[in-house]
Structure 1
Amino acid sequence: MSSDPSKVIEFLQFVGRLKHIKRTGWVLRDVQNPECVAGHMYRMGILSLLIDEQTGLDKNRCIKLSLVHDLAECIVGDLTPHCGVDPEEKHRREDEAMKVLADLAGAAGDELYALYKEYEKQETPEAKFVKELDRFDMVLQAFEYEKEEGRVHELEEFFESTRGKFSHPLVTTLLKELNAQRAKFEDMNGAKDQ
């Protein structure tokens, strides 16, 4: 590590905030024990480990993208469309936050910032795949909350927001199974009238 240890400690303290920042979408929907941003990023990293090498995707790059894609939230918070922040302003804030984090990370900073920009631009197969993982983890989490809290079909808006946005075979296979499990859960527990 060729970085200033005091800056690295500051970087780690910033990043540590992600263990306590609750994801805004779940807070707004009154989920009893909403996940934190770090938990979301962790499961995305694990999902990236499931990549079959024959897909042509760089597994290590996907893991890195998963771990970095929401890193700026340790400074700006988890901003959603419901927060009243213009998308361009959100991007500006996150970009500035990533520059701060990159500076504190020292030698690794350039890579962190480059990974963030790659994810934001959505131009590489890995960035596009990780975006699908981001969406898939959200709907998986929504289903988990529906089951845990007996909220049959109550978090449908999260599923609706992702319809038609999946194309990678790994993700579409998982989504098909998730939808089948959700339909079975709803049948067994009496889905509310639509």
Structure 2
Amino acid sequence: MGSGSRVLLCKSTSSLVFSGFAPAFACSCFQLRFKSFPPSPNSSRAQQHHRMAAEASSSANDGAASPSPSPSPSPYPSPASAIDFLSLCHNLKKTKRAGWVKRDIINPESISDHMYRMGLMALIAPDIPGIDRAKCIKMAIVHDIAEAIVGDITPSDGISKAQKSRQEREALDHMCKLLRGGLGANEINQLWMEYEENSSPEAKIVKDFDKVEMILQALEYENEQERDLDEFFQSTAGKFQTELGKAWALEIASRRKGH
């Protein structure tokens, strides 16, 4: 490169995305200007020196690898986060439903037993216009998920409805944080909130499934253990919101009378 010429160096980086922040790095350009030297006995040596310096600078910049763009946060939990979440959900399998425990039912169902059969109810239910079956199944298996932390709180525990909701909301937030956000955590949060607020057609039918599953279980315990669990039937009377819930509850009631 001859004396008096210019070299334009430009280095750019891609935007980095991490934890919701995206700092942008602008392209920074600068010029290196090489000053001309008057002829001298050492001019050829000076030219050679500056030429070597410029080439070394250019080579260093050309060889420098531009930082690779950081990947966007995964919409799915890491293996460690997934196992932490699932291990916490183990509590749903080993925690017995409090209503049955307080009535001395032998080998009472767990919280997850209850949610599983509700999921089956959503799976086998007839098609209903405006009802998303897949959403119902998902809602059924997460509607009591906060009980993995707070347990099965019943009206007889002396905890207000507002306090119960607050405790469960905090528990759900903790469980979603275990999943590091992402699609799964967002979906669980949305489904749980819809159920709690009874704010969608799917929430209404799943709430009916919740009551139907309870009285069906009560009927089974009455038949298996010769118990009178009429209070569970009375507590749900007139509270079904959907035609399907009413029809299934009526079938259970008719079988109870038949015994």
Same fold? TM cut 0.5: yes
Q: Which of 71, 76, 83 does residue 145 from structure 2 map onto? A: 71
Residue 130 of structure 2: which of 38, 53, 56 is its match? 56
Query: Which amino acid in structure 2 is aligned with residue 174 of structure 1?
Result: W
List structure 1 segments (4+ residues) > 3 angstroms apart after TM superposition: none
Q: Provide the rounded CA distance (Å) in 2 between the counterparts of 1:20 and 1:96.
A: 21
How big is the shift at 1:97?
A: 0.5
1:4 shift after superposition: 2.7
Secondary structure at the residue paired with 1:55? coil
1:105 Cα deviation (Å)? 2.2
Q: State the structure with bigger RCO (CA 8 A, min sep 6), 1 or 2.
A: 1
Distance in 1 between residues matched to 2:103 and 2:146, nearest whole Å:
23
Evaluate the alpha carbon distance shift between residue 47 and residue 95 of structure 1 in structure 2; reply closer, same or farther with a 3 A threshold.
Answer: same
Q: Secondary structure of the equivalent of 1:53?
A: coil
Task: State how 1:24-173 maps to structure 2 within 5 Å.
Answer: 24-106=98-180, 107=182, 108-151=184-227, 154-173=228-247
d(CA) in 2 for partners of 1:143 and 1:159? 9
Larger-Rg structure: 2
Query: What is the aligned partner in structure 1 of residue 249 from structure 2?
Result: 175
Q: Deviations over 1:5-63 (max 9, x none)?
A: 22211100111111110000000111011100000000000000122224321000100
Structure 2 CA distance for aligned equivalents of residues 180 and 166 of structure 1? 16
Shift of 1:147: 0.3
Percentage of matched positions with identical amino acids: 43
Would the alpha carbon gap of residues 86 and 167 (structure 1) be closer, same or farther in structure 2, given more than 3 Å must change? closer
5+ residue gaps, structure 1? 186-194
The more displaced of 135-144 and 160-169 is: 160-169
Q: Which amino acid aligns with 2:188?
A: L
Q: Distance in 2 between matches of 1:12 and 1:167?
A: 32
Instruction: Look up the SS of the partner of 2:249 in the other structure.
Output: helix
**Separation of aligned partners in 2, 1:79 and 1:183:** 30
Distance 2:76 2:212 in 1: 37
How many matched pairs? 183
* 1:178, distance to aligned residue in structure 2 (A): 1.0
AA of the residue aligned to 2:207: K
TM-score, normalization by structure 1 = 0.90
> Aligned letter for 1:99?
D
**Counterpart Cα distance in 2 of 1:175 and 1:36:** 22
Q: Structure 1 or 2: larger helix share?
A: 1
